[in-house]
Amino acid sequence: MTKALIDDCFRPTQDRLLHDEALALLCARVRPVVAIEPVALADACRRTLAETVHASFPVPAHTNAAVDGYAFASTSYDPGAGSTFLVVGRAAAGHRLDVAVGAGSACRILTGAVMPEGVDTVVMQEDVSLLPDGRVVVPPGLKPRANVRKAGEDVAAGSVLLSDGHILRPQDLAALASVGRDRVACFRRLRVAVVSTGDEIRPAGSGDLAPGQVFDANAPMLGALATLSGAAPTDLGIWPDRPDVIRERLATAAATYDVILTSGGASRGEEDHMAAAIGELGSRHFWQLAIKPGRPMMLGQIGTSAVVGLPGNPVAVFVCYLMYVHPLLARLGGAPWPEPRRWRLPAAFAFSGRKTGRREFWRGSLVTGADGALAVEKFARDGSGLISGLRVADGLIDIPEETGDVAAGDPVAFIPFTEFGIAGRNGA
């Protein structure tokens, strides 16, 4: 059953929020809002698990051979001189040898075959010599239990395979299948509406621009980002600067979607009718963040729907999405609050004259330094409308509030885009 958002969970604790304060506020007040549904394993990649899965049996379920060769008892083998065994049977994967192999004997065994009773060691077939009388010569130097996979060595029976809130990856699907699961309980994908507003905004492909008009670059970017966050986005198009239209469409969207993402209109301007409509239909709060790019964000709530008003410039939209919206969607969708990992890398640039007191996120590219080690280069221009900076970047350079000038070689925190499921410049 869908849970409601905590009432007024986006109310700011102060007029101006530092980056870590904003994250702490969201982390403390947001909880999952989506229902649970069964999902077939074939459709479960990147879905958020809504149950804890225990292994009902060990993996592998039986002790088996890791190679093609011959199985024998280590107690019948002389590791110093080698031994000769009479071959008494054959075991293959799916066709076990159901008779015990006696002392001084061996059996032919193939990879994956269950180890017959009485044997505990396998010699590789390319290391042996076969005699005309049906015996096999095993050379010296083999250790007891060599080339054998023990039952449960991968997963022990009863152990936790995957926990509630885990975002499923291809290798997790393999693990689930290995314990016989063909479907799992997952949180329903978060339904996210993407809205653009402004009479100057035109959809791409709609013909030539008139003076003062711009194509909508934010909506396709936000839709793709929401998909990478595991949500199911819907582009609701561009809404005109008409209060009645915005209010009506916003009310309809709030009744359908878990989250509404808007770009632009996050301020108190006289044409920012989105803010007024949110306040009339529910609760609305303006956040002033001590960050660059970004700063103004609007967060609100209409019934059970969360509304996030992002800045208008594409770079600010991108950065604010990664830092605040991505973890928000993850938590609303049932996953634990994610914190991106940061690499400490030397700066391949110098920057002076930086104002302290605010968090800055610079676009950064990975480069190889003079010593052959990995370093990070800063995109030369800081304009929040320069999409080219996002295209050449591999991630964000995270500059704390107290940091002033940065000299070449200084260690800086680098957040790779791969932390958010976004490939680097070369697809890696």
Say what the pLDDT of residue 13 is.
83
Q: What is the pLDDT of residue 296?
A: 86
pLDDT score at 364: 96
> How do the domains of the chain map onto residue ranges?
16-35+189-332, 36-57+157-187, 64-149, 343-420
Tell me the C-alpha distance between 412 and 428, whole Å.
Answer: 22
CA distance 154 to 148: 13
Q: Indicate the fold that domain 343-420 takes in CATH.
A: Beta-clip (2.40.340)
Within its chain, how far is the Cα of 232 from the centroid?
Answer: 15
What's the pTM value of the predicted model, to 2 decimals?
0.89
pLDDT, residue 1, reads 42
The tokens for 417 are 């885009």
CA angle 329, 333, 338 (to 5 degrees): 60
Mean pLDDT by 10 residues, the chain (428 residues): 69 89 93 96 97 96 97 97 96 93 96 96 97 96 97 96 97 97 97 93 89 93 97 95 93 97 69 84 91 90 94 92 97 96 96 94 92 93 82 96 96 97 76
Report the topology of domain 64-149.
Molybdopterin biosynthesis moeA protein; domain 3 (2.170.190)
Quote the CATH superfamily of domain 16-35+189-332: MoaB/Mog-like domain (3.40.980.10)
Instruction: Give which of 316, 303, 146, 318 is closest to 221, Cα–Cα.
Output: 318
Output the pLDDT for position 428: 60
- Please state, in angstroms and rounded to a whole number, the distance separating the CA atoms of residues 151 and 54: 16
**64-149: same fold as 16-35+189-332?**
no
- The whole-number pLDDT of residue 199 equals 86
Asked if the 36-57+157-187 domain carries CATH number 3.40.50.720, the reply is: no
